Structure 1
Amino acid sequence: MTISRRSLILGIPAAAAMAATATGAAATAARAATATAATATGGATGAASAEVPPFQSPIAIRSRTAVASPHLPRLHLDYPRRVDVTVRYVSRDDSCTTRGEEDVVQADVPAGAAALLLGTTRYDLLQYHFHTPSEHTLDGHRYPVEQHFVHSGPDGETLVLGLFLVPGGRKDVIPDPLPKECGPDLHAKVDLKTALPRDLSTFRYQGSLTTAPFTEPVSWLVLRQPLAVAATGIAGLRRLFPDGDARATQPLNGRVIRYRRQ
Structure 2
Amino acid sequence: METIISYFENIPPAHRSMILVGGITFFWLLESAVPLFSFKYNKWKHAFPNLFFTATTIIINFFLAFLLLKTSDWAVANNFGLINWLPEMPLWLYVLLGVLFLDFFGAYLAHLVEHKVILLWMVHLVHHTDHKVDTTTANRHHPIESVIRFSFTLLGVFLVGTPIGIVMLYQSMSLVFTQLTHANIKMPKKLDKALSYVIVSPDMHKVHHHNLLPYTDSNYGNIFSIWDRLFGTYMEMDREEIVYGVDTFPDEVKNSSLLELLKQPFQGYRKPTNIGE
What is the TM-score with the length of structure 1 in the denominator? 0.27
Q: Which structure dedicates a bigger proportion of its chain to helix?
A: 2
What is the TM-score with the length of structure 2 in the denominator? 0.26
